[in-house]
Chains A and B, each alone.
Chain A
């Protein structure tokens, strides 16, 4: 079975502006068949990103991710062996056919390659670009057990590439899920964030070129400038933790404050 981690979803109170940020700084592209009344869906030619308008009762955050499999029935069978439920989704979704969760309750979408529901950037995703989504960080209560779930049930592989110390990297060969142990002690000097998706990772052609773009684009349009990271003692502590538990060498946050780890 070939699995792809090729969907990420953000929930945002500024969803249209968030999209402009990812388009401007990372060159992500909108679908030619976009649906203006719904989420903005942009892609890098492999991973599609839905930036969903925040709805009543929902927090604004980096919300979930999705996995495409080539045999949905087989994948669902293995997922259910872990005692978790699988849920059919409304057919308006451009990616998700089903949603489910790992043993720690981290929610993700499942779809099948070639399925009828696939639309937007998930149906038209055959281009190459310099800056691509490469990894995401997930902090969870039982990291080892969760890593075993993704390798066993979803056929992702433990990566030979770089991972943060103590983390489990499970990969489809291009996108890697960095599964880290959530530990309250990590937040001793900053505000506390509960378990869940922690950061988004991009690979760029040159950190230097990217840093220059950040400076230029922010000056041209302050509405899509990155949110500050590392300010004050608590910000410094959070940035130190982010650096320690990621693999990139450049760290920033999108306008909503979602952490982004950039590697070359």
Chain B
């Protein structure tokens, strides 16, 4: 396997509380040797998630994802081969994960890391025990889903999953995580505010959706700061939820405390 999708990043106005939410509801773990002045970093044992304090000029929300590859130089060469106009940059060494960052043909940004390069920190440098609830997918809405699918397939050797005949989306997997490339269409937003292109939601595989529902109720009762955002209220909320539900990889839908979309599927650990 050449690449693993094993990094997700959220930029957040409430990064410390949001990290607690993911730890409390999904059982994600933080590193033993974490750096309190920087992002909160949590993991399911396979995929790390950086919850980054929002800085000036940045958006708050689901921000980017990252691949650990067998060979960074080879990945960069493949990106250039796919389209010489696509660029990569070396990242400052304070990052716990990224050695390089790059973008696909639609300017969706991802990080690239290589095991054993020595620059990795936090959950990316420690063995974290696998959690029962785990990340299952990362979904992007993008303008040219087919071309982006070809990009991720050729550069990172992700495998294309089967899909419905009339499904314009693409689903690619590294064997653990699925990258969902959802075709962005203006007409999808006829009953709500249009949303720009980019990261859309994250997915978790859980042992029991009913148990997660009970856990949310219990968590919110114990600590109101853990309350997910309201979903599906009013005609526009219904329309947004209906669009969210079109991703076939999840069957229960919620948000984190800031409104980042999360969908759940039931799967054995």
Contacts and interface: CB of A to CB of B under 8 A. Distances in A.
* A is bound by B: yes
A56 B194 contact: no
B103 interface: yes
B255 A56 contact: yes
A24 to B, nearest CB: 19
Contact of A193 (B52, B57, B261): B57
A236 to B, nearest CB: 11
Interface of A: 13-14, 52, 54-61, 63-64, 84-88, 90, 99-101, 105-107, 141, 182-185, 187-189, 191-196, 198-199, 227-229, 233-235, 238, 242, 253, 256-259
Q: Give me the 5 closest cross-chain CB pairs, A-B, nearest first.
A: A59-B61, A60-B60, A61-B59, A85-B186, A253-B56
Interface residues of B, number: 55
A85 B87 CA distance: 30
Contact of A56 (B88, B143, B190, B230): B230
B90 A188 contact: yes
12 contacts: A13-B14, A55-B259, A56-B261, A87-B186, A107-B194, A188-B90, A193-B59, A194-B109, A229-B56, A238-B55, A242-B57, A256-B54
Contact of A14 (B13, B109, B191, B259): B13
B258 interface: yes
A185 B103 CA distance: 11
Interface string B77-95: 0000000000111101000
B107 A141 contact: yes
Interface of B: 13-14, 52, 54-62, 64, 87-90, 92, 101-103, 107-109, 143, 184-187, 189-198, 200-201, 229-231, 235-237, 240-241, 244, 255, 258-261
Contact of A107 (B101, B108, B196): B196
B231 A56 contact: yes
Given A101-B194, A184-B88, 11 more contacts: A13-B259, A52-B193, A56-B229, A56-B237, A56-B240, A59-B60, A61-B60, A88-B190, A196-B196, A256-B60, A259-B57
A195 B107 contact: yes
A54 B56 contact: no
Contacts of A185: 87, 89
Given A105-B143, A141-B107, A13 B201 contact: no
Contacts of A257: 54-58, 60
Given A56-B255, A184-B87, A235-B55, A192 B195 contact: no
Nearest to B62: A59
A240 to B, nearest CB: 12
A79 to B, nearest CB: 11
A57 B201 contact: yes
B196 A105 contact: yes
Contacts of A58: 61, 193, 195, 259
B102 A184 contact: yes
Nearest to B229: A56
A14 B258 CA distance: 11
A57 B103 contact: no
Contacts of B236: 90
A143 B18 CA distance: 36
A223 B156 CA distance: 45
A84 B57 contact: no
A60 B56 contact: no
B54 to A, nearest CB: 5
Contacts of B229: 55-56
A215 B231 CA distance: 40
Given A56-B230, A101-B194, A105-B184, A233 B92 contact: yes
A184 B187 contact: no
A191 B54 CA distance: 10
Contacts of A141: 107
Contacts of B59: 59-61, 193, 196
Contacts of B260: 57
Contacts of B54: 60, 256-257
A55 B191 CA distance: 15
A84 B109 contact: no
Contact of A57 (B101, B194, B196, B261): B261
Give the residue among B57, B59, B244, B259 with the most A Cβ atoms within 10 A: B57
B89 A191 contact: no
